[in-house]
């Protein structure tokens, strides 16, 4: 099942004459859809709905968001990959898109099926401990795990996702061995983490920030190269001695490969305007991520780097979707 949300465009409120031409030309002449390959309420759905109204206003057409969750985002991505390359179907991809390329057997390849438009935002993952645990620092976890290997569990949103794969790499570089406790999505994992049913949780900050502020979950480190203002006072793992470790979470806006170049350019310009809107930018960054609004070429290069980097970790550790 998926949920559709239709937002009517605001007539006459187009941002620039150049983008206004998109309304008077052949595209767009009907509503557009953005596939979110995750259920409602998650970080990807949240980010999409924050820029959706402004994008509809700029393009002068309604925007429909379709939530196509399941199989770590691959069901929705496969649906988007089958869509006509006519500029009316787009997708907001999450970081699992990169890891899925190696973990799963998919009917498409990301960089062949999609035309990257913009890297919307990036942010930190954070390793958090429940307040009832004795872990006051990342060093506490490392020492405890080395003293008793394979006894400390950490939750993630699923097998093969960035939270899982990055923790595998983090553990290897720290010389410890943790027990992965995968869930079917960040929501169920969060529930058990907040309840204290699992001692550790690796997650994007978007869904755990309020629990960090409340003191229920204690942040031990972030996956950005340096400290993040979204988790103030918490050092990155690189700063805590784990080499050059870096594993940012991210959201990228893509269309179908083969979409006419003029349409791709118009959408990139429209997304740049939407993400530059102060209110949109503020709301997205309040969620625990930083707006990037990159060029299409920079987005493609970033996706290729992420697919290669995490593919190597997945193969090296024999991580499979059924593991």
Residue 112: closest CA among 265, 243, 286, 307: 307
Q: What domains are defined for the chain?
A: 4-122+249-316 (3.40.190.150), 125-222 (3.40.190.10)
Residues of the chain by 3-state class (helix, strand, coil), percent to 5: 40, 20, 35
Contact at 8 Å (CB) between 98 and 162? yes
Cβ burial, residue 96 (10 Å; 0-12/13-18/19+): buried
- What is the Cα–Cα distance from 251 to 289, expressed in whole angstroms? 10
List per-block mean pLDDT (blocks of 10 residues) for the chain, which spans 323 residues. Answer: 35 38 69 94 90 98 94 94 97 96 96 98 97 98 98 94 96 97 87 97 92 97 96 96 95 98 97 98 94 98 98 94 63
**pLDDT for position 23:** 40
**pLDDT for position 26:** 85
**pLDDT for position 321:** 78
**pLDDT for position 5:** 37
**pLDDT for position 322:** 63
- What is the Cα–Cα distance from 282 to 49, expressed in whole angstroms? 13
Sign (positive or negative) of CA dihedral 202, 307, 46, 236: positive
Up-side HSE of residue 159: CA atoms within 13 Å toward CB? 12
Whole-prediction pTM value?
A: 0.87
User: Which residues are bridge partners to 319 per DSSP?
Assistant: none
- What is the Cα–Cα distance from 20 to 266, expressed in whole angstroms? 10
Contact at 8 Å (CB) between 230 and 124? yes
Residues 6+ apart with CB under 8 A from 17: none
Contact at 8 Å (CB) between 221 and 240? yes
**pLDDT for position 4:** 37
Q: Tokens for 10, please give them.
A: 């605001």
- What is the Cα–Cα distance from 72 to 59, expressed in whole angstroms? 30
Q: How are beta strands 32-36 and 63-67 bridged, if at all? A: parallel
Contact at 8 Å (CB) between 258 and 158? no
- What is the Cα–Cα distance from 275 to 197, expressed in whole angstroms? 38
Phi, psi torsion values for 120, nearest 5 degrees: -70, -50
Peptide bond into 128 cis (omega under 30): no
Phi, psi torsion values for 67, nearest 5 degrees: -85, 110
């Amino acid at each position: 099942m998926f949920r559709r949300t239709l937002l009517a465009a605001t007539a006459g409120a187009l941002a620039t004459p150049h983008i206004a031409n998109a309304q008077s030309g052949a595209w767009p002449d009907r509503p557009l859809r953005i596939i979110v390959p995750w259920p409602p309420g998650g970080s990807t759905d949240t980010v999409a709905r924050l820029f959706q109204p402004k994008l509809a206003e700029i393009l002068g057409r309604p925007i429909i968001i379709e939530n196509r969750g399941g199989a770590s985002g691959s069901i929705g991505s496969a649906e988007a990959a089958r869509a006509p390359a006519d500029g009316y179907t787009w997708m907001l991809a999450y970081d699992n898109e990169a890891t899925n390329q190696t973990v799963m057997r998919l009917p498409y390849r990301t960089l062949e099926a999609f035309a990257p438009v913009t890297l919307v935002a990036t942010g930190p993952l954070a390793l958090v401990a429940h307040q009832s645990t004795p872990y006051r620092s990342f060093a506490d976890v490392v020492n405890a795990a080395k003293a008793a290997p394979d006894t400390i569990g950490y939750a993630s949103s699923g097998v093969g996702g960035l939270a899982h794969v990055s923790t595998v790499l983090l553990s290897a570089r720290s010389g410890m061995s943790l027990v992965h406790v995968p869930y079917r999505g960040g929501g169920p994992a969060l529930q058990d983490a907040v309840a204290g049913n699992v001692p550790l949780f690796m997650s994007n900050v978007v869904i755990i920030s309020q629990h960090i502020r409340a003191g229920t979950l204690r942040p031990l480190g972030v996956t950005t190269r340096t400290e993040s203002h979204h988790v103030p006072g918490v050092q990155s793992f690189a700063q805590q001695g784990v080499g050059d470790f870096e594993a940012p979470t991210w959201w990228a806006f893509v269309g179908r490969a083969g979409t006419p170049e003029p349409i791709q350019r118009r959408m990139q310009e429209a997304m740049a305007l939407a993400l530059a809107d102060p209110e949109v930018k503020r709301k997205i960054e309040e969620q625990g991520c930083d707006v990037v609004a990159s060029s299409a070429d920079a987005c493609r290069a970033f996706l290729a780097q992420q697919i290669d980097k995490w593919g190597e970790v997945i193969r090296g550790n024999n991580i499979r979707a059924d593991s």
